[in-house]
Amino acid sequence: MDLRTELINIAKNAQIASREILGLHTATKNNILKSMASALEDKKRIIIQANKKDIKNAVREKFSSAFIDRLTLNDKRIDQMSQSFLEIARLDDPVGKIIRAWQRPNGLWIKKVRVPIGVVAIIYESRPNVTSDCIGLCFKSGNAVILRGGSEALNSNLIIYEILKGVLKKYAINAYAINLITTKDRKAIDVLLKLNAYIDLVIPRGGEGLIKKVMRLSRIPVIKHYKGICHVYVDADADLNMAQKICFNAKVQRPGVCNAMECMLVHQDVAARFLPGMLKEFKDAGVEIRGCKVAQRIVKGIKPATDKDYHTEYLDLILSVKVVENLEEAIQHINHYGTHHSDSIITDNRKNALEFLNKVDSACVYVNASTRFTDGNQFGMGAEIGISTDKLHARGPMALEELTTYKYMVFGNGQIRI
């Protein structure tokens, strides 16, 4: 069977499955999700063995340490994957929820009701926990899913997929509700993006090259999960001890993910007091600093930051630092160089905090907190498909509700239009 025929068959079967699972009762879906959680726990050793093959290949290919961290599964991360299924099961089912209902003067009752999108294709790179999160969220929201993970995580993705598909078979659910494209042929994405007769939505999450390719080729509506150039701005009225803890967490806790800080902005009035200690802590943690001219004068020996640096998502222990004159310059810098993902202000000044929240054009804006909280699980959504940097129809962490659309159900008793 040629590649195009194979992918068309997968998409057709996914469409059929999406129509079958549409009517599943919430209790049934929740029981299946709980069984999926147990299956991951029971098969933990097998998952880790498969993941080790991917890690070995990544080391041989000399991928960065941050990349290998995103790729790695261990007991704790598999426990988190399992827990996500349980949390998704506890969440309200958005399918069938009445958004609004009203009656017209002619007696018609109109209900605006949440419904699944249908078939969702997700194209992603390196992080195998995305496989389980996407399956859990799409299943609970009544969508069939087609997954196309990166070849570097194929062994991990495949074993997770097989385990969870086995749970569907146990419950006699159409197993094409979840699908994984296993070919390493890069042309698979090109073919998949043309199957608008069967697939309703494409969600790419990964590097800039992947996102641009999907946007260029897709005949299917796309919600972008673009790169995260996230900022923390330390205001003149910041608690500097708090700022130091938040900035360190935002950069160092897990630098290879999209909600990690890539650029730290500091008000000129506190820069001389804040930067020496902060940058020493970063240096001790192995962070390479690239600073503006003012930052270089305050702390000797740091590399100069270029315009390209401010446009770069490092996903590594590298940080751009810029000293700004005021809040307005910080906001302008973020709106120009940021990717509308996650940005934070550290301040005790309520007026400045509100101005930052209102004027920074990002999906998630914070006051006195780390950008690392931009995460479906941390927001109480159970998990996430990813972080949408688009404005339509979903923005920020994309979970159950964002995986639905709506339709109007109209009830009459013989009305005709005159």
Model pLDDT for residues 268-312, shown as the tens digit of each residue: 999 999 999 999 999 999 999 999 999 999 999 999 999 999 999
* 140, 143, 146, 149: CA torsion to nearest 10: -40
The tokens describing 398, both together, are 């994309």
- pLDDT of 126 reads 78
Cα separation of 37 and 149, whole Å? Answer: 21
| CA 97 centroid distance within chain | 24
Q: Is the dihedral of CA 305, 306, 311, 316 positive or negative?
A: negative
Q: State yes or no: pLDDT of 204 exceeds 90.
A: yes
Phi, psi dihedrals of residue 128, rounded to the nearest 5°: -65, -20
- 22: which residues sit within 8 A by CB, 6+ positions away? 95, 115, 116, 142
Residue 82: band (very low, low, confident or very high) from pLDDT cuts 50, 70, 90: very high
24-33 burial by CB neighbour count: b if 16+ within 10 A, else e? beeeebbebb
Percent of the chain with pLDDT over 90: 92
Question: Are the CB atoms for 226 and 215 separated by under 8 Å?
Answer: no
Which residue has 């305050």 as its token pair?
298
- pLDDT of 64 reads 87
Q: State yes or no: pLDDT of 65 exceeds 90.
A: no
At residue 235, the 3 state secondary structure works out as coil
**Per DSSP, what are the bridge partners of residue 263?**
231, 320
Question: Are the CB atoms for 406 and 112 separated by under 8 Å?
Answer: yes
| Residue type (1 letter), 372 | R
Average pLDDT for 230-244? 98
Query: In this structure, how many other beta carbons lie within 10 angstroms of the beta carbon of residue 215?
Result: 14
Of residues 262, 199, 195, 198, the one with CA closest to residue 228: 262
Domain 230-373 has CATH 3.20.20.70: no
Cα separation of 397 and 383, whole Å? Answer: 9
- pLDDT of 244 reads 98
- Predicted TM-score (pTM) of the model is 0.90
Beta pairing, strands 342-346 & 364-367: parallel
Residue 67: band (very low, low, confident or very high) from pLDDT cuts 50, 70, 90: confident
Average pLDDT for 179-194? 95
330-348 burial by CB neighbour count: b if 16+ within 10 A, else e? bbebbeebbbbbbbbbbbe
Cα separation of 359 and 345, whole Å? Answer: 12
Residue spans per domain, the chain:
3-225+385-411, 230-373
- pLDDT of 66 reads 81
pLDDT in tens, 128-157: 999 999 999 999 999 999 999 999 999 999
Q: What is the CATH number of domain 3-225+385-411?
A: 3.40.605.10
- 268: which residues sit within 8 A by CB, 6+ positions away? 294, 323, 324, 325, 326
The tokens describing 23, both together, are 């009517």
The CA-atom distances, in angstroms, between 51 and each of 56, 70, 74, 256, 262 are 9, 11, 9, 18, 28
How does DSSP classify residue 287? P
Which residue has 């640096």 as its token pair?
309
Residue 170: band (very low, low, confident or very high) from pLDDT cuts 50, 70, 90: very high
Question: Are the CB atoms for 371 and 250 separated by under 8 Å?
Answer: yes
